[in-house]
Amino acid sequence: MLIQIEVNSEKPIYMQVHDQVIEGIARGELYAGYSLPSIRQLAADFGINLHTVNKAYDLLEREGYIVLRRKTGAVVQLTPSLPPDWDTRQRTVLAEALAKNIDPDEIIRRSRHILDQFIAQRQHYQSNAEME
């Protein structure tokens, strides 16, 4: 998986790592049992603090996307449940759009478009995995 860090972004680096891992899972690029780089390795690869990667991995584990094991490191796990704050985060995103006077049909159209992209990418990764 390719993670891209934008050091000049307003989004904290740990959230960039967090969000990109989740998007990798959504695309099907990261699957149950997939081993992520170790905390040390990812920190070294990007020249970022170990605590930054640890914070991202800890959050991913608390949300149920990965498990952290001493010997195997961070491993993707897929649980069929949403994080506890999912409705709150979704509510905020929808409120932001409505506060900007975005038409509700446009919000739904854009949401569907993004969801369809993830589904198409997941199908691509699954069909490639079946061919191997």
Interstrand relation of 66-69 and 73-76 (parallel, antiparallel or unpaired): antiparallel
Same domain assignment for residues 68 and 103:
no
| Block residue for tokens 């509510």 | 91
Count of structural domains, the chain? 2
Same domain assignment for residues 8 and 49:
yes
52-97 tens-digit pLDDT: 999 999 999 999 999 998 877 899 998 888 878 889 999 999 999 9
Separation between Cα atoms, residue 103 and residue 61, nearest integer Å: 36
Same domain assignment for residues 30 and 49:
yes
Q: Which domain holds residue 126?
A: 85-132
Closest to 126 (Cα-Cα) out of 5, 32, 37, 58: 32
Look up the CATH number of the domain holding residue 70: 1.10.10.10
Same domain assignment for residues 117 and 99:
yes
Same domain assignment for residues 8 and 69:
yes
- In which band, very low, low, confident or very high, does the pLDDT at 126 lie, cut at 50, 70 and 90? confident
Q: What is the pTM of this model?
A: 0.84
Same domain assignment for residues 70 and 102:
no
Residue 37 has pLDDT above 70, yes or no: yes
